[in-house]
Amino acid sequence: MNVQLYDTTLRDGAQRAGISFSVEDKLKIAKRLDELGIHFIEGGWPGANPKDTEFFIRARDLALSHARLVAFGSTRPAKTEAAKDPGLRALLDTGMQVFTLVGKSWDLHVTEVLQTTLEENLRMITDSISYLKAEGKTVFFDAEHFFDGYKADAKYALRTVKAAAEAGVDCVVLCDTNGGALPEEIAVAVKAAGKDGVPLGIHAHNDSELGVANTLAAVQAGVTQVQGTINGYGERCGNANLCSIIPALKLKMGIDCISDEQLAGLTEVARYVSELANMSLDPHLPYVGASAFTHKAGLHISGMTKQEESYQHIDPDLVGNRSQVLVSELSGMSAITYKASELGLNIPRGERAREVLEQLKSLESQGFQYEGAEASFELLLRRSQPDYEPPFELVDFMVVVERLRRLPTTAVREYLLSEAMVKVRVGGELYHTAAEGNGPVNALDAALRKALLQFYPSLAAVKLVDYKVRILDESQGTESIVRVLMESSDGEHDWHTVGSSTNIIEASWIALADSLEYWLVRKGETPPGA
């Protein structure tokens, strides 16, 4: 069975609140969709806005190796000749060879929204399709609200499908525009529409959280074209998510819609489109989300260490994703040994693993959380090794914040000074340094670096890029335990560390020291004389 993939991210997906693709964005996405193996890429509605019109002008020079670009439009208005409709003319002016026309298939929309007759709507469908077919074009018909129309008046909804077929349409796409249909309703209506022999497609929305399920049900019922968007972007609750549909078709249903190599690029495409959309990729999306193959429960991790497929429905490598194990108070010894083996550390099941696990649980009861602080957890494992020698050791610190006493040398605010004094041991020697900063954490960072840079000059590359504070028990007010999560970067790699205390400065100090120690350990830096 052959199934065509039709992407409408650039039109329907762009209707999601918060998304506004530039023309350049749309051209870049079209190129990546082509590389993914998408058969048809809907670029927009020419004439509806200047951006879509410009896209089709520039897209003429877009070198696509696989996909065909599609221009979207509507059937002619009531009581208007197709040849005189500026909307249809705008489609032809794009120079594209494939067009999709949307038209009504629900009698309610015909009489109440378009305010025309049922017979005139059928003529609008046939005239518009015939006009474009006479120009030698490939034409798809989006039967808008088909499933609602089928429930309201099945006979008329099917007449719209037949009208399109008689006009020579290449595919009738049945649309669940309001996203309210159930899979069994989809299957019944698709089979009824298929009796005319015209190729069918499916365009599902996700308002009932069934966009993907309805799409797959339609494929099982006989449709040969699948429409959707990357990451399920779209108006309201979104469209059917192609990032779930594609692997389901290929891996679950045995429909070879794209190559194995293209499928392995799916996660990368999902992330690429989310970046251009300026939307954070939902980590819990199936197949492509960062947490799609993440394991936390001890029982699951125990099974994973013995047989990976025991708690994964597919091999994540197939879609370009990866497995990962989170360690928390819910974990067992298997999680400890699994993570240790990933790092090349020897922490076998038994007493040592149990000690690490008990330490982990004790720290989490004090407010630490290692799910989002992989660098701090790695240090926890390394520090459990008998031969571990840290690149430096914290001894003591003091922070002073002054206001209106004297002018600072580095503080941003004119009359506010933060000064930190730090004692740190490196290679057996104790060093006492002080530094000013535009805040207590910045001052601590500067003082610590002043001591360490003389031994580890490469630390200058490490920068703090994010700093988050969370109060863990709001009922305690200013006495609450706070958790600090830091993100650091050397310009090439990012890592996260955590600190927790009733004192926000101490929590920050712990996270900051972990950040620098982690980087030095990863770089293989050793204390002087070691």
- What is the pLDDT, as a whole number, of residue 406? 53
d(CA 170, CA 193): 14
What Å distances lie between residue 372 and 54, 91, 178, 215, 381, CA to CA? 43, 49, 38, 35, 16
Say yes or no: 249 and 320 in one domain: no
Mean pLDDT across 19-36: 96
Radius of gyration of the chain (CA): 30
Structure-token pair, residue 287: 């197949």
Kind of pairing between the strands at 324-325 and 393-403: unpaired
The reply to whether 30 falls in a domain is yes
Q: Could you say which DSSP state residue 165 is in?
A: H
Mean pLDDT across 157-175: 98
Q: How many CA atoms lie within 13 A of 52 on its CB side?
A: 21
Which of 265, 301, 299, 271 shows the shortest CA–CA distance to 285?
A: 271
Which domain CATH number covers 124?
3.20.20.70
Residue with tokens 């494929």: 219
Q: Does the structure show a pLDDT above 70 at 305?
A: no
Say yes or no: 142 and 181 in one domain: yes
Of 242, 277, 312, the one marking the end of a domain is 277
> pLDDT-based confidence at 402, cuts 50/70/90?
confident
Q: Distance between terminal CA atoms of the chain? A: 65
Q: Could you say which DSSP state residue 409 is in?
A: S
What Å distances lie between residue 359 and 114, 329, 354, 502, CA to CA? 68, 10, 9, 19
Mean pLDDT across 363-392: 83
> pLDDT-based confidence at 386, cuts 50/70/90?
confident
- What is the pLDDT, as a whole number, of residue 327? 61
Q: Does the structure show a pLDDT above 60 at 175?
A: yes
Helices 504-522 and 374-383, packing angle to 10 deg = 70
Structure-token pair, residue 234: 């779209």
State what percent of residues in the chain have pLDDT above 70: 89
Paired residues of 46 in beta bridges = 49
> pLDDT-based confidence at 413, cuts 50/70/90?
very low
CB 450 within 8 A of CB 438: no
The reply to whether 386 falls in a domain is no
Say yes or no: 429 and 397 in one domain: yes
Which of 46-50, 138-142, 208-212, 247-251 is the least confident region?
A: 46-50
> pLDDT-based confidence at 230, cuts 50/70/90?
very high
- What is the pLDDT, as a whole number, of residue 367? 80
Q: Does the structure show a pLDDT above 90 at 154?
A: yes
- What is the pLDDT, as a whole number, of residue 354? 78
Mean pLDDT across 487-501: 90
Say yes or no: 309 and 420 in one domain: no
Say yes or no: 256 and 326 in one domain: no
Say yes or no: 218 and 247 in one domain: yes
Say yes or no: 326 and 261 in one domain: no
Which domain CATH number covers 482?
3.30.160.270
Amino acid at 402: E
CB 484 within 8 A of CB 356: no
What Å distances lie between residue 366 and 90, 361, 461, 481, CA to CA? 65, 9, 32, 8
Say yes or no: 231 and 342 in one domain: no
Amino acid at 437: G
Say yes or no: 76 and 177 in one domain: yes
- What is the pLDDT, as a whole number, of residue 226? 98
Residue 430's H or E segment, with its range, is: strand 429-437
Helix residue spans in 288-403 (DSSP H) = 298-306, 333-342, 351-365, 374-383
> pLDDT-based confidence at 303, cuts 50/70/90?
low
Which of 321, 320, 339, 343 shows the shortest CA–CA distance to 331?
A: 339
> pLDDT-based confidence at 529, cuts 50/70/90?
low
- What is the pLDDT, as a whole number, of residue 211? 98
d(CA 382, CA 62): 51
d(CA 144, CA 264): 33
- What is the pLDDT, as a whole number, of residue 266? 97
What is the number of residues in the chain? 530
Which of 381, 308, 317, 316 shows the shortest CA–CA distance to 343?
A: 381
Q: Determine the Cα angle at 330 with ends 329 and 334, to 5°.
A: 100
The reply to whether 74 falls in a domain is yes
The reply to whether 371 falls in a domain is no
Q: Does the structure show a pLDDT above 50 at 361?
A: yes
Say yes or no: 132 and 37 in one domain: yes
Task: Give the number of domains in the chain.
Answer: 3
Q: Does the structure show a pLDDT above 60 at 474?
A: no
Of 316, 347, 365, the one marking the end of a domain is 365
The reply to whether 385 falls in a domain is no
Which of 96-105, 178-187, 394-403 is the least confident region?
A: 394-403
Mean pLDDT across 2-10: 97
Which of 187-191, 371-375, 439-443 is the least confident region?
A: 371-375
The reply to whether 372 falls in a domain is no
Mean pLDDT across 265-294: 90
Q: Could you say which DSSP state residue 26 is in?
A: H
Which of 9-23, 120-134, 375-389 is the least confident region?
A: 375-389
The reply to whether 24 falls in a domain is yes
Domain extent, residue 335, equals 294-365
Say yes or no: 124 and 182 in one domain: yes
Task: Give the contacts of 412 (CB within 8 A, at least 6 positions apart).
Answer: 438
Q: Determine the Cα angle at 155 with ends 151 and 157, to 5°.
A: 65
Mean pLDDT across 477-483: 76
Say yes or no: 451 and 496 in one domain: yes
The reply to whether 370 falls in a domain is no
Of 231, 252, 277, the one marking the end of a domain is 277
- What is the pLDDT, as a whole number, of residue 291? 78
Q: Does the structure show a pLDDT above 50 at 438?
A: yes
d(CA 295, CA 326): 6
Mean pLDDT of all residues belonging to the chain: 88
